[in-house]
Amino acid sequence: MFTPAPQADAATLGMQAVTVAAAQKGKPYKWGAVGPRAFDCSGLMVYVYDTRLHKKLPRTASAQRRATTRIAKSQVRPGDLIFLYSGSVTNVTHVGVYAGGGRIWHSPHTGDHVKLSTLWTTHWTAGRVR
């Protein structure tokens, strides 16, 4: 029986995560929502990874940061979670899934919707779901 290398598994999972996140494009932001009709930022990550890809992920962005494996910015690849922070990296204010090319899929705030955006700050850290 063939067993793919762990890096291949992570890359495949990452691309699946990007595909699931992209399929939510245009759905409205709603605080506390975890889909499938509306999402807040961390709720979108729970929907992508926990609900659809069956990889356990906590509910809040801060807990998601603690639960993922830290990834250097130079090693980020599609599917990694991008945690935006204010001041300290432990003060997570937002999360999105990295799509490649410096862009993330995310659900920004009230009045907005799930969309693909270019990263707008250098105050971010990354984590990989295993």
pLDDT tier, 88 (very low <50, low <70, confident <90, very high otherwise): very high
Whether 129 shows a pLDDT value over 90: the answer reads: yes
Q: Of 106, 109, 113, 123, which residue is the catalytic one?
A: 106
Q: Which CATH architecture has domain 6-128?
A: Alpha-Beta Complex (3.90)
State yes or no: is 106 an active-site residue. Answer: yes
Query: Given CA atoms 100, 105, 106, 111 in this order, what sign does their dihedral have?
Result: positive
Whether 59 shows a pLDDT value over 90: the answer reads: yes
Whether 121 shows a pLDDT value over 90: the answer reads: yes
Q: Whole-model pTM?
A: 0.92
Q: Structural domain boundaries of the chain?
A: 6-128
Whether 4 shows a pLDDT value over 50: the answer reads: no
Q: Of 41, 54, 109, 123, which residue is the catalytic one?
A: 41
pLDDT tier, 24 (very low <50, low <70, confident <90, very high otherwise): very high
Whether 1 shows a pLDDT value over 90: the answer reads: no
d(C-alpha 74, C-alpha 36), whole Å:
32
State yes or no: is 41 an active-site residue. Answer: yes
